[in-house]
Amino acid sequence: MLENANILIADDEPSLRVVLETVLRKEGYKVDSVDNGADALKMALNKDYGAALLDIRMPQLDGLQVFYEIQKHKPDLPVILMTAYSTAEIAVEAMKRGVFDYVLKPFSVEEVKILIARAIRMLYLSKEVQYLAQEVQTLSQEPTGPCKLIGESPKIQEVYKSIGRVANSKATVLITGDSGTGKGMVAKTIHYVSERWQKPFIQVNCGAIPEGLLESELFGHEKGAFTGAINQKAGKFELAEGGTIFLDEIAEMSPNLQVKLLRVLQEREFERVGGSQTYTANVRVIAATNRDLSAEIAEKRFRADLFYRLNVVSIHLPPLRERGDDIILLAEHFLKRFSLEAQREDIFFSPEVIQIFRNYSWPGNVRELENAVEHALIMGNTKVILPENLPSNLNMQGTGFQTTNLSKENFRSLREVLDEAEKAQIVEALGHTGGNRVQAAKLLQISRRALIYKIQEYNLT
């Protein structure tokens, strides 16, 4: 049954349709293909398909419009979107509304075959069908706040997908990752793309508040509950009613307070410090940590039962060094923001600075990059950000300065040296992959678009 399923392909690129038809028919599927959104919708509504593969940009109706119409009449049909233009907004919105998955052009046929097989299995397994039906529910209202996450790397795309999947569930979420990777931004994004977006988003840094005050901060206190409690005070859980509370650095919470938080997660109720009245907690809890909670549990510093309550859905943020050209996208975003604030126009990075950004390990992750860009803009007084404008730790890391006996005539510019090294690395990657640009771009940890630009720049044929 699975092998003989009907597959619908909609894309206005004839060559891509031919490739997909050929590959999927070899897999045993029956394939229909069209070149526009209107015909795709007509086919989808009048024939049973195991999966639909839709390009986002098509004549008459785009892929998202076709998906929304399919959703109304055949919500169980798995839809896979194809796009050459991926942004956080598109990824989160599509996954939130129930798209089975999406692929970035150019993609490998193996990736498509795997996605099609998974989609069809989901269609035929009742448990998975129920799960899919929950994901494709249309929101009655849309959040007005834009998604501020930036990046196109495969690892950050997985984060976007997870946000979309979890946004409208009531499940607690545990966000993990190194310091400075943007865990707070992910928590805010989950809130503002969820049905709770009009309610409060309350953030509590569990590591920044003294242990003796954190309980009062979370649950509130009654007048006279302790020395200094001269007035009654509502806690963060009360203030976040109907919305989201984000507990950052959750591993810093004391064992005693962990027990009380566990009760809130299990029973959805709590009392203020020094009080006897029970309050209900209609709050979505998102927690974050940069520690290994498994190790914390083994050392008996963190409760296993609380971990399981928090870790219903886990989202891991990759360190910046693993995000390839996202480093440059983020740096340019920060530069634009800070230059606007400083009322300085048309500021850009020199090629040497971009190379330094790519080579640096970024132990402080996105936060360190943001600070480095702000520092460079302040220290530079020209329209070009130069290496000497950067913080010293970026400029000196791994340079390996040493005295040589080179004459002045034998010196080459740093740009020439970097270009030569970059060109050699690209040639080696292309040779290793037999000229496959997609695979070469993955080896070099850059986008295919960036690779094509470099190939043209260095006249590599």
User: Model confidence over 15-55: pLDDT tens digits?
Assistant: 999 999 999 999 889 999 999 999 999 999 999 888 999 99
The reply to whether 167 and 310 lie within a common domain is yes
Dihedral (C-alpha) 296, 300, 306, 312: value to the nearest 10 degrees? 40
Are 63 and 70 within 8 A, CB to CB? Answer: no
Q: 403 pLDDT exceeds 50?
A: no
> Does residue 128 have a pLDDT over 50?
no
Q: Are the CB atoms for 94 and 102 separated by under 8 Å?
A: yes
DSSP SS3 for 206: coil
Clarify whether residues 303 and 333 are in a common domain.
no
The predicted model gives 45-70 an average pLDDT of 90
Average pLDDT rounded to a whole number, residues 300-325? 94
Query: Which residue in this structure is represented by tokens 């390009």?
Result: 55
Position 142: which residue type?
E
Which of 371, 396, 421 is the last residue before a domain boundary? 396
| Cα–Cα distance for residue pair 182/147, rounded to 1 Å | 13
CA distance 111 to 342: 45
pLDDT score, position 144: 39
Cβ neighbours around 332 below 10 Å, total: 15
Amino acid, res. 460:
L
**pTM of the full predicted structure?**
0.64
What phi and psi, each to the nearest 5 degrees, are found at residue 250?
-60, -25
Decide if 141 is inside a domain. Answer: no
Q: How many domains does the chain have?
A: 4
Could you tell me the two tokens for 146? 């834009």
Same domain, 41 and 180: no
Based on the domain organization, do 201 and 111 belong to the same domain?
A: no
Coil vs helix vs strand at 290: coil
Q: What is the pLDDT of residues 89-102, one digit of tens each?
A: 676 777 777 888 88
Residue 307 CA to residue 251 CA, distance in Å, equals 10
For residue 254, give the 3-state DSSP assignment.
coil
Instruction: Give, to the nearest 10 degrees, the angle between helix 437-444 and helix 448-457.
Output: 100
Residues 112 and 224 in one domain: no
Count of other CB atoms within 10 angstroms of residue 81: 25
What is the structure's pLDDT at 399? 41
298, pLDDT greater than 90: yes
pLDDT on residue 350: 87
Question: DSSP strand E in 133-254: where?
Answer: 173-176, 201-205, 220-221, 233-234, 244-248
Q: Is 224 left (phi over 0), alpha (psi -120 to 50) or beta?
A: left
Q: Are residues 161 and 222 in the same domain?
A: yes
Contact 377, 347 (CB under 8 A): yes
What CATH number does residue 312 fall under? 3.40.50.300
Whether 401 is covered by a domain: the verdict is: no
Six token digits for residue 91: 């990824």
Same domain, 169 and 76: no
User: 355 and 245, same structural domain?
Assistant: no
Type of residue found at 391 = P
Domain extent for 335: 322-396
Inter-CA distances, 438 with 256, 257, 442, 450, Å: 52, 50, 6, 11
**381 and 304 in a common domain:** no
Gap between the Cα atoms of 69 and 65, Å rounded: 6
For residue 149, being part of any structural domain is answered with no
194-214 mean pLDDT? 89
Predicted local distance difference test score (pLDDT) of residue 288? 96
Give the pLDDT band (50/70/90) at residue 179.
very high
pLDDT > 70? residue 195: yes
What per-residue confidence (pLDDT) applies to 414? Answer: 64
283 plus 416 within the same structural domain = no
Mean pLDDT to the nearest integer, 383-409 = 64
Instruction: State phi, psi for 323 to the nearest 5 degrees.
Output: -110, 10
Residue 269 lies in a domain: yes
Indicate whether 145 belongs to any domain.
no
Task: Give me 167's structure tokens.
Answer: 């946004």
Residue 136 pLDDT more than 50?
no
Picking from 269, 286, 316, the residue at the C-terminal end of a domain is 316
- For residues 164 and 311, membership in a common domain is answered with yes
How many Cβ atoms are within 10 Å of 227's Cβ, its own excluded?
A: 6
pLDDT of residue 133: 35
- Interval 296-303 mean pLDDT: 93
pLDDT given at position 94: 76
**Which of 294, 316, 338 is the last residue before a domain boundary?**
316
With a CB cutoff of 8 Å and minimum separation 6, the contacts of 378 are none
Residue 332 and residue 239 share a domain: no
The whole-number pLDDT of residue 108 equals 86
- What pLDDT, in 10s, does the model give residues 232-289? 888 899 999 999 999 999 999 999 999 999 999 999 999 898 888 888 889 999 999 9
